[in-house]
Structure 1
C-alpha cells in the first residue's frame, strides 16, 4: 500500500477554520447530580467522541496525576467531566467500561495508562482513529488536526495556551471548556464522516 502524505503545517495554515461547538452546546459536569444526568444522556449512545486533559508536568521524572478532565461528545453536544468529584469519577468510569458505548478519539494510548492509574478501570470498546487512517495508507499519525484537514478540508483550531493550562483547577475557564469539548467533538465528527460502523467490543 502506498504511503499517503500527511498535510503539512503550511497546507493546514491555508485552510479555512472548522466551525466548532460553542459554550451553549457544552455541559460542564462537576457534581454528582450533574454526573447522574449526564450519564443518563450518554449511556444510550452507540458511539461517543472521547478525550482527556491533564495538568501538565514540568520535569522528566514527574508522574502526571491526571486525567483531571474527561470529555465525551455526541454529534451536536459535548460533556466535560471534572474528576475532582467522586460522582463524576463514577459516571466516567462506568462509561469507559461500557461494552455498548463505543468511544472514538485520537492518540489514546497515553490516556488509557492514566485512566487505569487514576480511576482503576480499563477502557473498553475504544477505537483510536489514528489506526483507521494508518490502515488507509497514512504512515504518519494524523492526529485530530490532520484528520480534520483530510476529511473536511478545514483547519482544526487548538489553543496552545489551553493545552498547557492547569486542568486541575476547580473552576475551568471558558477557553478550557471549549478546547476540551471540541477535542472529543472533532473525533466523533471525523468518525461519522468516515461512515464507519460502531466499533465492536475490544479491551485496550
Structure 2
C-alpha cells in the first residue's frame, strides 16, 4: 500500500485516556505489576528525549510503555517503584513483549537501567513476509485493520523527560505500546 493509499483510510481509533495508567506511586506499581504479570503478551515501547546536537548522547529511555489488551501502563524513569516492576516484567521469560523497532529500546534499557529484556518479538521484522524493508506500525495498522495510524512528528520529538507529560504525549505513548499488541493478536489470529 502506498502512502497516498494509506491517507485515504479511516483513522485508527486508539486507546482512550481512561485506559491509560501513569505509574507514579507504590500502589500504582503494585496494580501494574499484577495486571502485567497476568498477561501472556504485552505491547512494549520506550520514549526518549530527542537529541538535536551532533555528538549528543541520549539519556533515555525516559518513559517505558507496557500494554495489556485492556490498558496501557506508562512508567516515567526516575520514579522509584518503576524500575523494580519493569525488571520483573521485562526480564520474565513467561511473558512475550511485542513492539516495533525494539533493538534500540532494549539496548538503552540494558545500558541505563541494567534490565535485560527477555522474550521480545520485534514486529518490524516478524511481519515482513519476505519484504526487504522492516515494517512499521503505520503500515501494519493499514494492513491488518484497514486504518490509518497517525504519528505526529511534533509529539514524537517532544521532551519525554518532563516530569509532567501532556495528554497528547500520554495518548501517543500509550498507543505505541497498545497498537503493537493489537497488531500481534490480529497477526496470530490470521495465521
TM-score band (shorter)? over 0.9
- Structure 2, unpaired ranges of 5+: none
CA–CA separation in structure 2 for the residues paired with 1:128 and 1:49: 10
CA–CA separation in structure 1 for the residues paired with 2:7 and 2:135: 15
Offset at 1:127?
0.2
- Structure 1, unpaired ranges of 5+: 1-6, 197-204
Normalised TM-score (structure 1): 0.89
1:10 aligned to 2:4? yes
1:140 aligned to 2:133? yes
CA–CA separation in structure 1 for the residues paired with 2:25 and 2:49: 20
Residue matched to 1:43: 37
1:84 aligned to 2:84? no
Normalised TM-score (structure 2): 0.95
Alignment of structure 1 residues 161-176 onto 2, 5 Å = 161-176=154-169
Alignment of structure 1 residues 88-167 onto 2, 5 Å = 88-134=82-128, 136-167=129-160
Residue matched to 2:54: 60
Offset at 1:41?
1.2
CA–CA separation in structure 2 for the residues paired with 1:59 and 1:171: 24
CA–CA separation in structure 2 for the residues paired with 1:166 and 1:43: 30
Count how many residue pairs are aligned between Structure 1 and Structure 2. 190
Q: Deviations over 1:91-134 (max 9, x none)?
A: 11221101111100000001111111111121100000112122
Q: CA RMSD in A?
A: 1.4
Residue matched to 1:182: 175
CA–CA separation in structure 1 for the residues paired with 2:11 and 2:131: 23
Maintained 8 Å contact 2:65/2:72: yes
Residue matched to 1:21: 15
Residue matched to 2:24: 30
